[in-house]
Every structure is written in C-alpha cells, then in structure tokens.
Amino acid sequence: MSVFSNLLNQTQSKKLLNSSFHLYRCISFSSLSTTTTTPSSLDVNLSHPIYMIWGSNTGVGKTLVSTGLATSILSSSCLEKQVKFNYIKPVQTGFPLDSDSRFVYRKISEFFVNRKPEFSLLASNHGLKASVPAWKEISGVDLENEGVEKSGGLKDLCWYEERRIEGIEKDSLGAKLVCKTICGWKEAISPHLAVQREGGDMEDSWLLDSLQKNLVDGGNDDDGKRFWTIVETAGGVASPGPSGSLQCDLYRPFRLPAILVGDGRLGGISGTISAYESLKLRGYDVAAIIIEDHGLLNEESLISYLRNRVPVLVLPSVPRDQSNNLMEWFGESQNVFKLLSEIMQSSYSERLRRLQNMPKKAQNIFWWPFTQHGLVPEENVTVIDSRCGENFAVHKAKNHDLITQQFDACASWWTQGPDATLQVELARDMGYSAARFGHVMFPENVYEPALRCAELLLEGVGRGWASRTFFSDNGSTAIEIALKMAFRKFSSDHGILLDLCNGNMVEKHIEFKVLALSGSYHGDTLGAMEAQAPSSYTGFLQQPWYRGRGVFLDPPTVFIHSRTWKLSLPKALQFDKRKPENMTFSSQSELFCGTRDVSDLGRSYSAYISKQLSQLLESGSSAHIGALILEPVIHAAGGMHMIDPLFQRILVNDCQSRRIPVILDEVFTGFWRLGIESAAGLLGCLPDIACYGKLMTGGMIPLAATLASDAVFNAFKGDSKLMALLHGHSYSAHAMGCTAAVKAIQWFKDPLTNLNITSEGRQMRELWDAELASQISSHPGVKRVVMLGTLFALELEAQGSDVGYASMYAISLLRSLREDGIYMRPLGNVIYLMCGPCTSPRICTELLNKLYRGLQEFDQSKVERMQNFADCKP
Amino acid sequence: MSVFSNLLNQTQSKKLLNSSFHLYRCISFSSLSTTTTTPSSLDVNLSHPIYMIWGSNTGVGKTLVSTGLATSILSSSCLEKQVKFNYIKPVQTGFPLDSDSRFVYRKISEFFVNRKPEFSLLASNHGLKASVPAWKEISGVDLENEGVEKSGGLKDLCWYEERRIEGIEKDSLGAKLVCKTICGWKEAISPHLAVQREGGDMEDSWLLDSLQKNLVDGGNDDDGKRFWTIVETAGGVASPGPSGSLQCDLYRPFRLPAILVGDGRLGGISGTISAYESLKLRGYDVAAIIIEDHGLLNEESLISYLRNRVPVLVLPSVPRDQSNNLMEWFGESQNVFKLLSEIMQSSYSERLRRLQNMPKKAQNIFWWPFTQHGLVPEENVTVIDSRCGENFAVHKAKNHDLITQQFDACASWWTQGPDATLQVELARDMGYSAARFGHVMFPENVYEPALRCAELLLEGVGRGWASRTFFSDNGSTAIEIALKMAFRKFSSDHGILLDLCNGNMVEKHIEFKVLALSGSYHGDTLGAMEAQAPSSYTGFLQQPWYRGRGVFLDPPTVFIHSRTWKLSLPKALQFDKRKPENMTFSSQSELFCGTRDVSDLGRSYSAYISKQLSQLLESGSSAHIGALILEPVIHAAGGMHMIDPLFQRILVNDCQSRRIPVILDEVFTGFWRLGIESAAGLLGCLPDIACYGKLMTGGMIPLAATLASDAVFNAFKGDSKLMALLHGHSYSAHAMGCTAAVKAIQWFKDPLTNLNITSEGRQMRELWDAELASQISSHPGVKRVVMLGTLFALELEAQGSDVGYASMYAISLLRSLREDGIYMRPLGNVIYLMCGPCTSPRICTELLNKLYRGLQEFDQSKVERMQNFADCKP
C-alpha cells in the first residue's frame, strides 16, 4: 500500500489524523453519480504537463516520488513564475489512516516550513468520496443519522484541510498545492477486495469521469500560472482497481504519459522490466524510470535493457527508521527530482511540439491514398494520438491543446472490430507471436497460427463448402488469386485445359471474362480492377491498363425510405410494370426470406439472368464467362448499395448450373460486418471460392485469405510445378496476421466475449435502434437508408455534381459530426456509421442520435444557405 | 534468492553442508570450455516432459514448487512404471550455502524416508562448476595448491552426493532423482553482479550449451522409464543471468514450456501478470501458474485476467517458522502438485500430438503458394515450432521427437533481417503499437509511426530524390502504384494529359508500355505481371489475362566462376567480338566503378540502348514507353542473376534524358540486402519512383512503400478528387508495420546495434569469406556464383530439364543441408544462402563451409549415380 503507512507509525498517524479532522472545512462538491454510461468525453488538457505515477510493485515509493517531484517543482516557483501543483490519488485503500494525498500535503508543508521560501505556499488536501466504513472512521458519526447523499455505496466526503506557509515576500500570490483523494476504502487491501467487503462498487467509467473532472479543474482555474498535475496509481501497474479491471487497462483511455517507480531491491530488475513491459503492452509512453538505491546497481541492468530509450534515475536510500521525518532525505534528493521534473517538462514539450507540427509534416511528405492533397487544408488533417477500442484519441489545438475522443465510425476503412478489451488481448498476442515466430516461410511448412487460422476459417466462414485456405496480404490480392483459381477451374471443367495440353487450342485464342454486377468493387490492383464495370476508378487517368474484362449486369437494389423497405429495379428489369405493393417489403427478414424464390419477382429475375447468359454464350464470341464474382448483399465502395439478395441468389444458382465458378468477395462483408459471420448465409447459397480480409484480423494488420472448394484445388494438381498456382506474396500466412485472426475470429463469435452474439453463436442482435433509423429514413434530406449488422448508411438527397464519388456535399455535415465526437468519412453524398461486432447497442444509439441531430442542423443550414442565395439574387 | 536460505537458518545449513561435504564422492565430468562459438546445436528432446520454472519475483517459492512437483511425480513411481526426475539449476548464487538443487535433494530424501514408499529411491546431487570463492568455501582448500582446471574463471567442481532410500520392495529398480547445479557463485546477489565480483564470466552460448548437454543426459540414459526434467531459473523472469542477459532472453532458444510461480502477496497480482506478460513477450508458452495462498485471493484476479487460457493453482500457506522441516506442508500440498503434474503431462502430450499431426493437417487444408502439392510428401513438410533470430526451431520425429535448429537461409522468402535481440525489441514494439494504435485510418490523417517511417524512408533510401511516401501492403501492390505514378507523370510530361483533358485525344488510342529487362520479376498481381517478360509465371494456365505490356531487353550479366568475376553478354550485344580480358573483372569494386562509363563496353551499351529506344519510338506505333522498371543489380526471382550495373546505369540515364520515368524495384534489394541501404547507390543513379517491402519491417509483417519525387507527385495535383491517385488498401500505412519499419530501418544502419555496419553507417562489411567463395566458384558442380551483401547464390551445373524454375535437380542437396541445420529453398537449379544484415560473418562462414561440404557430397553421389547408371547398361 502507501509509503505513508511505512513511514509513520500507526498510533502517531492516527493522532495526527484525529487532531486535524476537527479542523476540516466543508466545501461543496458536485455530486458524482455512478451511472452506467461511459464518460461523455475523456478530454485530456495538454496545456500543462500531466503524468501518471506507476509502481513496479507496491511499496516501491510512488508517493515519495510524487512528494519529491512536488517539492522540486513548487520550489521553482518565484514571483514571476508561479506554480500550481495538483496531486490526485484516484483510489486509496487503508483510508484514512493511509492517505497518500495527505502524506504529500503534510510532507510538503513541512518541507516548506523548514525551507522558508521567497514566496508563500497555499497547500490543501481534499477527500471526495469514501466507503461507509472509511467515512465512519473519519467522521465518527453513525451513518443512519446523517443526511449524506449516497451514491453507489460511496459517501460524499467533504474533507478539506488547508495550510498557508508564508514566504519571505509576504504579499506574493504564492505557489499552490492541491492534493485530492477521489475515493477511499478503509481496509489496506487491494481496491477490488475492499469494494467487495465495504461496498462502493463502481463502473470504470464513473472513476474515469471523476478523474477527468478533476483533471479539468486542475488545468483551468488560475490562468497565467505554471501547472503540473500528477495522478498516482495504487499498488503495481497491473493491480486491480475498484471494479477489478487492472489499473493499466482502467486508465488506458487517457493514456497519460507515465513515470515508473522501479524497484531497487533484489529481484527488482525483473519486476521493473516486467512492469515496464506491461505498460508498453497497453500503449503507454514511459518518460522516466526512477528507483531507490539499495546498493545493487539495478539501474545498470535497466539502462542496458532500455538502450537509452528511457532515462533511469536513482534516489538515495530512504531511511527505514520510522521516526525519521524524511526532511533530510527530501533535501538530498532535490537534484534527482529536479532532473526528473526537467525530463518530464522536456518530454511534455517535445510531445506537444510534435503533435502541433504533425499536420504540416504529414502534408509535406505523405502521399495519402484516394486523396486530392490540394483539397485537404492543414486544419483538416486529423492527428491521431492513439486508439482505444472503437475510439480515436485525437489532438486538437483550438483554444488550447487537448486530446479528445472520436468514435471511429468509418471503422478505419472498414477494417476495425476490437473493443478496448479485445485490443489489449490482441496486443499481447501480437507481442507473443512476433517473439515466437516473427514471420516464417509458409510454402511446404506448417506452424501453429497458420494452421489454427486455416482450421477456423474452414470451420467458420468456409463451413459446408471450402476445404483449402490460400493466404495473401489484402483483399485485392485475394481477388486476383480467386480469379486465377476460377479460370483454371473453368478451363478444367470445360475441356480447355485438356485442349491446351494436347495442343488442340492456342492460348491467344482464348479470352476469359468475368460476370459481375455494375457498381461492385473488388480492389485496386489491375486484375481486381478488370473485374469491375467502368467507373470513376477505372478511367485512363487512373488506370491506363484497364480494359474491363467483364460482363456487367445492373442489379436491383433495396433500401429504407420513409420507414419502409423498398425495391428499385434497373432499367433492364422494368419491362413488366409491377404493382407498387410488390415493390416494398414489410420487414428486413422478408427481404432475406427463401420463399421469395418462387415469387413473380424471382421468376422475372430468373428469366432475365438466363436470357442474358444465354445471349452471351450463344453470341459466338470466343470469350468465355470464366467466373461470377459478387459482393454479397452490400456493394460497399460502390456507395453502400444493398443488392436484392434474391437476385444474387438466382444469379449464383444459374452460374453454378452452367459450371461457372462463383467467387464471393467477402472482404468487406465477412466476419460479422453484416451481422452474420459469412454473408453467404444471407444469400442462402454457397460459393466455390470466397475472399476474406479486413475484419479477419480484428482490424490489426493486413491478412487476406482465399478459400476454395476441393474441386477448385484439384484443378491445379499435376506432375509439374508449372501446373501449380504460381502466386504468393513474401509474407504469405505471416504468423502475426494469423495469430490476430485466430483471436478475432473466435472472439467475435463467442457469446462470452462478444455480448452482441446470441447464445448459439450464430446470430448477432440488432445494433441500430429501429425507431431512430425510421426517423432518419423519413428525414427530408435523406434519400435512402441501408442498415445491416454493423453498418448504418444513408444517401443524402442531392442534385447534379453533388451526387457521386467526387462530391464534397457531405463535408460540412461530417465536419460538425467530428466536433461532436464521431469520425466519419464520406463516399461522396453517401455517409455511414460503422461500429465493431462487439460495440454495445447503447453506443450505436448515441451515434444515431448525434447523426440525426447533425442531419437536422445540416438541413437547417442548407435552408439558410439557399435563403441567403435567394436573397442575394438581383 | 532461493527458498533454501529462507527456510533453514544459516548456521544449521552450514553445519549440514560441512558434514556432507566430506562424504562426497568425486566422479569425473567432461570439462566444459567457455569458447565464444554459439552452441552447435540446441536440440530439445521431446521424448519426455521438460519444463522451466520461472518466478514472478525472487522469494516466491520456485524451489518449493520444484520440490513438490518432484515428490508428486516420484511418488507415482511403481514397479511397473519407474520414474526418473531430473532437476537442473543452471545458475545459483549464494552458493554453496544456498543451493536449490541441494534443497530439492535433501527435502525429497527426507520426504521419502518419512513415507516409506513401495519402491526404492536413489537420489543424488551434483555441483558442476563454481566461482573461485564458492569453490574455496566448499573445499576449504587454497586454490594455488590445487590442480583444478580453470575455465573462464569457473572451476570444475566434483561435488557429488547420493543417497538410497530403500522401499518396501527391496529389490525394485526404484525411482531416481538427479539434482544438478551447473554453476554457483558465493555471494547471494544477482548472478551478473556475482560474476563481476567473483569471476566466472561466460558467454550465454556456453551456459546454453552446458544446459543442453545436461538436458540430453537427462533424456537418454535409462530407457523404459518415465522421465521428467525441470529447469529452475534464478530470481524473477527478467532477472539477469551471469552475462547480464535477462534470463527470459538467455533461455529463449530452447523455448521450454513454462511454469510460472506467481506471487500470492499484496501487490502479487500485478507482479504475476507482468511476469506472465514478459514471458509471452518472448514467445514462451505458460502451462500453469501456481501461487502460495496469502489469504488475498490473488488467484481470482489472475483467473479473470487469464480467461481460462492458463490454469491457476493455489498452494497452502508455507510455514514461516524456520525450524519447520516442511514435511507436513509437502504432505498437505500433494494434491495440488499432483494436479500440477497432470496439467504438465497433458500439456506436454497435447503439444507433442499436435506437432506430430501438423504435417498431415497442413497437407489437407493449406493451399501453399508456388507449390505443387502432389510433389510434397508428408515427411517433407517442415513443422516450424518457432524462430529465434535467424534460426527456425523445427520439430522432427525420426528416432524420437525433438526440436532442432535450422538457419533460415532462404530468409523466409527474403523477408528476414532480425537477429535474436532485434526480434525481442520488435516483439515489444509490436505489442506497444497494437495497444496504442491497432490500425487507424490513414488518408487525411497523421499518426506517429506512419510519420516517423515516412521521414526515415525519405532521409534514408529516398535521400536526394524522393519527397513523398505512398504506403501499401506488399511489393506487388507497390509496383502497381509505381506504374500508375509513372504513366501519369509521362502523360503530364508529354502533353497527353492536356490532350485528354481538352478532348484532343481519345483514351482508347493511347497505349502505354513499360521498358524492362528480360528475367526481371516484379510481383504476382496482374499489373505487376504485365511489366515482366513472358516466363513460366505468365503462361495462360497461370495468368489468363497476361499480355506482356512491355518492351523487354536482354541484359548482360556478371558472376564469379573459377575465382574470377566474368561478364556474359546477350546475343544482341555480341556484335563486336570482345577480347577475353575485357570480359573479366579484377574485383567486385571494379565492377561497380563509375569510370566504366567511358569504357568501350560503356559506349557499346550506350549505342545499343539508344538504338533500341529510337527504333521503338520511331516505329510509328501508338504505344508509348511510359516507364522504365528495373530490379537494381540483382534479378532475384528470375534466378539470382547479377546484371551489369553499368548497363542499368546507362539505361536509366538514357530514359531520364527522354523524360521516361524510372522505377527502381527495390523490394528485394532494399535495406541492406545487397550490403547497402539502397541498391541505387550501387548503380550510381537516382530513380523517379522506387518500391520497398520485405526487409523494410525487419521481417515482421507486410508493409510496402512507393517513394516518389515531387515532380511525380505534382502530376496528380488538381481541383478534383478524380485527378488524385485513386488507389489505396484498407491497411494503408498500418501502425504496426510502420512501427516495425521505424525500428528495423534504424537498427540496421546503426553501428551500435548492427555490428556489420562501419562507423559512418553507410557501409556494411563483407559477410562471406572470400577464399571459401572462391573455392566454391571453382567447384566443378558449380556454374556460377553471385555474392553481394547478405546474398550468396550459385547455379548448379545441370543439363536439359534439370535447368530452370521447375527443375528438381537441387532437392537432394538441399535435403542433406537441412539435416545439417540449414533451411534452404531452391529456384530450380539455383540455390542460395541468405542471412540478415546483422548476422555475424562467423555464422556466414559456418554456412559456407557446410554448403561446400554439401556440394562435395552431392557431386560424389552424382558420380556414383552415373557410375551405377553406366554399370547397369546392357
């Protein structure tokens, strides 16, 4: 526990406590409620240094370091430059007997009394909340007789003590020390045990919110001063907090820079290094390590391990005599603490400078994909300091520098799946896999992560049809591989292979085309591009080698408008006028219902497809349709269009009956993106080949897989290597990608780890609030809504050049949503929210609410703009 | 330190020690020498369970666990199933007063005396080496008067004690306990400090070798018994060993499965979790965690953290009374130790079963790239259990199951760079980056790893010409991007862009071709394939969409044969008969010398290139040469051909003078693969665009970069998004890849971390022994040798179908080299050794020696095969 208990004997400290308790002045605190919502905002003010003090173990002297640091920093105060030092202890057990904030408050007061500084010091100590037993201990009052407000088992504690130490310059404004204990429990045990025994259960979000409020307080009240804030944790880095979450996980959303108090004792090298590694494994930056000298030169081993990445400071040995008031020790240690504070100051300044300069540097040296650099002014460049689960922590420099949270609603190009817990798990697995394997050669070899990943893919998304896994690096390469597989299979099935091998046919007389739907998109490399219909992406300026080697059908689409699912038919299918009631659906489940196969619509789809294919095949052209390729249900990059699943199902069945291999491009749709592990399940049919990527690794690193049936694989068998599939990337089946996939695939479908999954592990609950979605679909500015699984997309009603991929129409709406904590990216006038498979519906509702509010403001401003425009007319 | 010292008071133990010392029986040990070589082999026998016991801190009871485990396992001995238990303590300080092996030996003897088992027990304790002070302490003899052999400051210690405890069945063979201390130091401090104070300095390799020998001893001497081996570490997981290396790093090459003895005390949750994470960060598997009960329920938090991944066992509280002989405690703990041993046994069996089944499973579900599955019998599938630096740890099941080391001489498809130290650094960075960022959206954003990586690329390989970094996932995508960049630049430079925008030209009338060299290879996706000349990879069966959109020149090549660098000219350049002396080079540096530009050869290259280009441009074809693409110096996948750098330089200069953008494909050659950071430096000219991948991340994960000059970037500027480069993969600039690249790029070029780099950080020393290389180049079975940087390649002399990519000619040679500890892969009849930029020349020499030996045997067997063939003739 705290150093306090080691240094003052208990009777003595009890006496001190009692004597001062009667002097406290009660001031009012805003009542903090323990609600279940996550904190609305976890901004971290960067206008002054804020550090978190961690210990490599309990009893290594965190509080001594906090105190020493405060003495050094407060001593640097002078008439011109005054200092305010905030010390926050969020969680204290053994309270009030042990109180680190009180220790800091008292020791510093004592130190300054002895030192007689030039300036005065106003020191205070606050206790905000306590468990009932701790509260009783302090007040001596029986609770039932008191009107103290109860919140989540913790009592408001109006404990306040202050002391003014006059400096030589009597009238100076003086330095200020504010010490706070946010919550205290009586027993000197781990906080989570104390909660079990004394009550005071709280969600992590409450504690974060509360800490956040105190951080804000610390930064804003006295302008013109130098500020410092120190937050001291309890126990070791991975000691549980009140809820049982490890503190290194609990405080992660703030990602405050860390000072690690190491262990100078025997065994302390190991403990310090391990604690450092646990912090790194949560993405913390450690600015310095400080250890007490025990004569064992532990610092030498630490320095050697750290290779100058992190400075290591050594404190003089702390007197073990309990009667020692430590004043001499603090005096001796001043140069160390001064150095520490300088390191912290310069690390803080450097970070800030780097954050501030990043947008300009990025503009100067990056070449962003899909970006017209000229259209991105410096102020629009987002500086991402870190991510925690679904949220970016973003640097902003408006009134002052701060780090603020934005929900990553573009799922970083649709790759993201982890919540904060999965992210930590994946991080550890990434470290493990890198250490165990790095990357190792794949062909003709086997290693655990690749094997397990292939097993999981075949048992999961490949269940019932796939028997082989071919790994590559991204969706685009997975598609190129799929096309090669399909063409070979087609050649084998249709006698072309035999003819070629026997010399009955000449290569150059054979032409393969793919059958695909207009508006589908399968990747950026040439082979994948060839499988898509001409579009903005395929023009000569973009892709001089593109020819469009496909036959492209216009598909029917479905969407919600004015609360109703509607069907939109392409021109080619509008030959028979359909009754309006046949152009709507009562529900989403009707849309996906298999009985639609025998409907009128089904028959007309069938006739249309059959006619198209027959015409093509009978045209006498030398071209073969060597493959059908589909994005199941959703055309993503093409503008988040939902394709009528009935149409796709009939197309698949027709092709399979003609022995045309069917490729499903599940790079976007796979792994619960659409609320189901494989979107083939939505179509109700099975492919011959399918491609996976993006979410497969949980959003960590690139890895793709092309799954194939045995029949496809067999088309590559032969006596010669030249018959094999001669395609493979250097990092084929790299161990880290496979390790991430193994964790993510299992995590997403396990109801124990993903609360959105129903107990059978096959279904995901609806994430988007139906009523809100309906409201949005009725909004006059909204042309259509598509929602399925983790996707909520809408097309804004727009005209002319405001429509389409290059449109900038949505920019002002998205800009205001970013201010509101949602990071979105447009596809022209189509915008979307995308969460992870584990994101709680509550958060989705929050997002929809913000989106709806944003839409209303956007509409309003549009009206105003038009009004202004009308007013300006001559 | 050891539990021993806590449990026996010092006087008492000293007495015991002295009394028994005079009873020891000296037996001979092979003298272990502390040479500087790495252990020749670090095989781990898998025929019985071997575990390593780690502590989350010092004093948590590792030795008690070892002892308890031994009592439980030895107690399971019976007449039918006898047990041998080996306990090894590699490093002991406080020795001989503290001796964990002695503690185990004595406690178990005592336990069995009390228990009167059915069978007899033969227990022994050995001490192998000790520092001088420890040696003196034991012998009481002044050293100068003794003839004890000295090795590296450690003395051979012939300490042996044994005891037989008769069972009820007097004549039973009985169980056997062998306890060993490998080296001991007198002071009870960290081993690295003890070494500093007492001598006994050793390389890690010596200790590993020594441990390895004792592991082997343990496994082989008594067939038919059940064996167990336990290796107990000293202090905490990251406590330094004798050399100062952290023990978790030191023992990593064995990667023995771990038992972690956690900490049940206050703060112990944190310490145990951190220790666990440090083990995971080195790629260890932890089979169980065991903690002593201190009444704090630490196990609950551990179980919650571990999510059932690892069982957590709780031992009864250990009596603190020093006079307690612990017999009662061991009795009480038997059920826990029995459970532990069952967990260990089943974890061992499961691992073994999995390893044994992996080849078959892999064959059934993988689709390996570039592999004809029919040609890979099950016994040829390599099971890679892990990698440590440049070595694979491979499972083999010949006489018995074992894990053995193979040098990864194909550098896992040319991706690998890390030595063991860099691998650990990268592993920690991977964990950090995953925890801090996972992956975050790149376009219009900036985050530290991407920015730093781009900075390092532009300062390094892009120095002097590049100003923009475009990230993608692999070499192939980087090339497709480069081609798009080049074509746009060409369009812009040659008025095509303007004509298109003004409608003066129609897209379909423009055709772009690339200029490239025959035999070059740029990746597997269609766009990259189009830039290479027709080859085995491009036939219709492989790539039905391939057209070969290039103009391909045959280049002159250079190689070593019979100790001489020779030039080989393509047919087109053989028009003037050159004197033989002009077809050789005195040295490699002559080859790369800039003065060759003004040679006869230079002029004839120049004339030839100029003629080819002029012909092409004047032919009236509508095709433009829109880009030159080159693999600088080495055509890798094309068969490790070295291209005359003079020819490439002249080609680049000619193209640049015609405003044809030049792309260097440095995916293979970049980052020191050829002994220089960018192979452009070998050519002596700068590109407009260059592509990087493979080694860029140090061999961890896929990441690629296309670097471009400002002029290229500017060709994409405009008012519309449609003018931008509309290409980008989901994981563009993913944080983990960039983080790995940042570490690797710096590590490779820093003389402090890469000892192969000269102090200016610009040059890499020669890794391959010149004389050995010369000998190999003179071998009759060798057609040519190419060596440069980390590459040593040779083409085997072969005829007919034995030549070329599909050839199986080299298979038997490579198989025998794998038996010799080198994992190579052929490119048909071309084979190569490839090391990392940090690999020590000593290891390279070892590899060359083995290769030379292999060649001689291969030749011999060929002669014999031919002899046999001749003898069989009718």
The CATH number that applies at residue A838 is 3.90.1150.10
Whether the predicted pLDDT of B760 surpasses 80? no
Q: Does A506 contact B at CB distance below 8 Å?
A: no
Structure confidence at residue B617 (pLDDT): 76
CB contact under 8 A, B525 and A530: no
A574: confidence class by pLDDT, cuts 50, 70, 90? confident
In a domain, A763, yes or no: no
CB contact under 8 A, B476 and A474: no
Whether the predicted pLDDT of B214 surpasses 70? yes
Residues of A in contact with B510 (CB under 8 A): 540, 544
Structure confidence at residue B770 (pLDDT): 96
In a domain, A368, yes or no: no
B28: confidence class by pLDDT, cuts 50, 70, 90? very low
Taking residues B171-180, report their average pLDDT. 84
N residues, chain A: 874
Closest by Cβ to A278, choosing from B274, B500, B536? B274
Last residue of a domain, one of A685, A718, A749: A749
Distances (CA, A) of A633 to A411, A648, B453: 19, 8, 38
Q: Does A358 contact B at CB distance below 8 Å?
A: yes
> How do strand B382-388 and strand B391-397 relate by DSSP bridges?
antiparallel
Nearest Cα of chain B lies from the Cα of A803 at a distance, in angstroms, of 13
Distances (CA, A) of A210 to A2, A215, A252, A736, A865: 22, 9, 15, 38, 42
Residue range A622-645, pLDDT digits in tens: 789 999 999 999 999 999 999 999
In a domain, A276, yes or no: yes
CB contact under 8 A, B468 and A366: yes
Taking residues B360-367, report their average pLDDT. 97
B755: confidence class by pLDDT, cuts 50, 70, 90? very high
In a domain, A177, yes or no: yes
Q: Is the dihedral of CA A245, A249, A252, A258 positive or negative?
A: positive
A239: confidence class by pLDDT, cuts 50, 70, 90? very high
Whether the predicted pLDDT of B32 surpasses 70? no
Q: For residue A574, which phi and psi values (nearest 5 degrees)?
A: -90, 15
CB contact under 8 A, B375 and A721: yes
Whether the predicted pLDDT of A447 surpasses 60? yes
Size of interface A-B (CB pairs under 8 A): 603
Structure confidence at residue A872 (pLDDT): 52
Place of tokens 């409020």: A213
Q: Does A711 contact B at CB distance below 8 Å?
A: no
Task: Give me chain B's average pLDDT, please.
Answer: 89
CB contact under 8 A, A270 and B507: no
Task: Identify whether residues B176 and B230 lie together within a single domain.
Answer: yes
Distances (CA, A) of B689 to B32, B461, B469, B550, B635: 56, 11, 10, 18, 18
Q: Which helix (H) or strand (E) holds A395?
A: strand A391-397
CB contact under 8 A, B301 and A244: yes
Task: Please give the residue of chain B at the shortest CA–CA distance from A538.
Answer: B726
Q: Rounded CA gap, A723 and B373, in Å?
A: 10
Structure confidence at residue A13 (pLDDT): 39
A759: confidence class by pLDDT, cuts 50, 70, 90? confident
CB contact under 8 A, B368 and A443: yes
Q: Which of residues 56-95 of B touch A (CB under 8 A)?
A: 56-59
A870: confidence class by pLDDT, cuts 50, 70, 90? low
Query: B489 lies in which domain range?
Result: 463-727
Of A53-67, A212-226, A368-382, A694-708, the poorest mean pLDDT is in: A212-226
CB contact under 8 A, B700 and A237: no
Residue range A453-484, pLDDT digits in tens: 999 999 999 999 999 999 999 999 999 999 99
Q: Does B270 contact A at CB distance below 8 Å?
A: yes
Task: Identify whether residues A793 and A684 lie together within a single domain.
Answer: no
Task: Give me chain A's average pLDDT, please.
Answer: 89
Q: Does A474 contact B at CB distance below 8 Å?
A: yes
Q: Does B441 contact A at CB distance below 8 Å?
A: yes
Whether the predicted pLDDT of A11 surpasses 80? no
Give the tokens for residue B736.
């983990």
Torsion on CA atoms B707, B708, B713, B715, rounded to nearest 10: -130
A847: confidence class by pLDDT, cuts 50, 70, 90? very high
Residue range A775-788, pLDDT digits in tens: 999 999 999 999 99
Task: Please give the residue of chain B at the shortest CA–CA distance from A693.
Answer: B730
Task: Identify whether residues A552 and A438 lie together within a single domain.
Answer: yes
Contact between residue A262 and residue A296 where contact means Cβ atoms under 8 Å apart: no
Structure confidence at residue A24 (pLDDT): 34
Q: Does A532 contact B at CB distance below 8 Å?
A: no
Of A480-494, A825-839, B152-166, B842-856, the poorest mean pLDDT is in: B152-166
CB contact under 8 A, A444 and B381: yes
Task: Identify whether residues A737 and A780 lie together within a single domain.
Answer: no
CB contact under 8 A, A439 and B416: yes
Whether the predicted pLDDT of B154 surpasses 70? yes
Place of tokens 């085997």: B796
Of A556-560, A863-867, B593-597, B836-840, the poorest mean pLDDT is in: A863-867
Give the tokens for residue B501.
């925008």
Task: Identify whether residues A658 and A698 lie together within a single domain.
Answer: yes
Whole-number percent of chain A with pLDDT over 70: 90
Whether the predicted pLDDT of B404 surpasses 90? yes
Structure confidence at residue B18 (pLDDT): 39
Task: Identify whether residues A332 and A224 lie together within a single domain.
Answer: yes
CB contact under 8 A, B729 and A524: yes
Q: Rounded CA gap, A565 and A788, in Å?
A: 12
CB contact under 8 A, A730 and B57: no
Residues of A in contact with B629 (CB under 8 A): none
In a domain, A393, yes or no: no
Structure confidence at residue B76 (pLDDT): 82
In a domain, A754, yes or no: no
CB contact under 8 A, B451 and A362: yes
Task: Please give the residue of chain A at the shortest CA–CA distance from B359.
Answer: A446
Closest by Cβ to B236, choosing from A267, A539, A542? A267
Structure confidence at residue A152 (pLDDT): 58
Q: Does B534 contact A at CB distance below 8 Å?
A: no
A864: confidence class by pLDDT, cuts 50, 70, 90? confident
Q: Does A236 contact B at CB distance below 8 Å?
A: yes
> How do strand B83-92 and strand B258-261 relate by DSSP bridges?
unpaired
Structure confidence at residue B1 (pLDDT): 35
Q: Rounded CA gap, B170 and A209, in Å?
A: 72
Higher pLDDT, A386 or B152: A386
Residue range B702-725, pLDDT digits in tens: 999 999 999 999 999 998 888 999
Closest by Cβ to B386, choosing from A418, A437, A468? A437
Higher pLDDT, B586 or A868: B586
Whether the predicted pLDDT of A20 surpasses 60? no
In a domain, A387, yes or no: no
Task: Please give the residue of chain A at the shortest CA–CA distance from B455.
Answer: A365
Task: Please give the residue of chain A at the shortest CA–CA distance from B244.
Answer: A301
Give the residue among A726, A727, A725, A728 at the shortest CA–CA distance from A714: A725
Q: Does A310 contact B at CB distance below 8 Å?
A: no
Q: Based on the structure, what is the number of domains in chain A?
A: 3
A409: confidence class by pLDDT, cuts 50, 70, 90? very high
Place of tokens 């406080």: B94
Task: Identify whether residues B787 and B723 lie together within a single domain.
Answer: no
Nearest Cα of chain A lies from the Cα of B778 at a distance, in angstroms, of 31
Whether the predicted pLDDT of A224 surpasses 70? no
Last residue of a domain, one of A749, A781, A806: A749
The CATH number that applies at residue B269 is 3.40.50.300
In a domain, B372, yes or no: no
Task: Identify whether residues A571 and A683 lie together within a single domain.
Answer: yes
Q: Rounded CA gap, A528 and A537, in Å?
A: 12
CB contact under 8 A, A700 and B434: yes
Contact between residue A46 and residue A355 where contact means Cβ atoms under 8 Å apart: yes
Q: Does B275 contact A at CB distance below 8 Å?
A: yes
Task: Give this prediction's pTM.
Answer: 0.94
CB contact under 8 A, A1 and B266: yes
Task: Please give the residue of chain A at the shortest CA–CA distance from B295.
Answer: A189
Structure confidence at residue A480 (pLDDT): 97
Q: Does B516 contact A at CB distance below 8 Å?
A: no
Structure confidence at residue A308 (pLDDT): 84
Higher pLDDT, B174 or A263: A263
Contact between residue A502 and residue B535 where contact means Cβ atoms under 8 Å apart: no
A869: confidence class by pLDDT, cuts 50, 70, 90? low
Q: Does A166 contact B at CB distance below 8 Å?
A: no
Of A367-381, B38-52, B568-582, B679-693, the poorest mean pLDDT is in: B568-582
Residue type, B6: N
CB contact under 8 A, B367 and A717: no
Closest by Cβ to B474, choosing from A415, A455, A729? A729
Task: Identify whether residues B354 and B398 lie together within a single domain.
Answer: no
Structure confidence at residue A8 (pLDDT): 33
The CB density around residue A604, as the number of other CB atoms within 10 Å, is: 17
Q: Does B498 contact A at CB distance below 8 Å?
A: no
Whether the predicted pLDDT of B667 surpasses 70? yes
Task: Identify whether residues B673 and B770 lie together within a single domain.
Answer: no
Residue range B125-149, pLDDT digits in tens: 999 999 999 988 888 766 554 544 4
CB contact under 8 A, A273 and B510: no
Task: Identify whether residues B399 and B307 lie together within a single domain.
Answer: no
Q: Does B487 contact A at CB distance below 8 Å?
A: yes
Nearest Cα of chain A lies from the Cα of B645 at a distance, in angstroms, of 26
Q: Does B384 contact A at CB distance below 8 Å?
A: yes
Taking residues A326-352, report their average pLDDT. 96
Residue range A736-755, pLDDT digits in tens: 999 999 999 999 999 999 99
Structure confidence at residue B223 (pLDDT): 53
Whole-number percent of chain B with pLDDT over 70: 90
Task: Identify whether residues A640 and A786 lie together within a single domain.
Answer: no
- Cis upstream peptide for B556 (omega within 30°): no
Structure confidence at residue A829 (pLDDT): 94
Structure confidence at residue A32 (pLDDT): 31
Residue range B425-436, pLDDT digits in tens: 999 999 999 999
Distances (CA, A) of B750 to A434, B417, B464, B697, B753: 22, 14, 20, 16, 6
Structure confidence at residue B613 (pLDDT): 86
Taking residues A850-868, report their average pLDDT. 85
Residue range B38-64, pLDDT digits in tens: 445 789 999 999 999 999 999 999 999
CB contact under 8 A, B432 and A354: no
Nearest Cα of chain A lies from the Cα of B408 at a distance, in angstroms, of 9
Whether the predicted pLDDT of A725 surpasses 70? yes
CB contact under 8 A, A736 and B58: no
Q: Rounded CA gap, B729 and B478, in Å?
A: 11
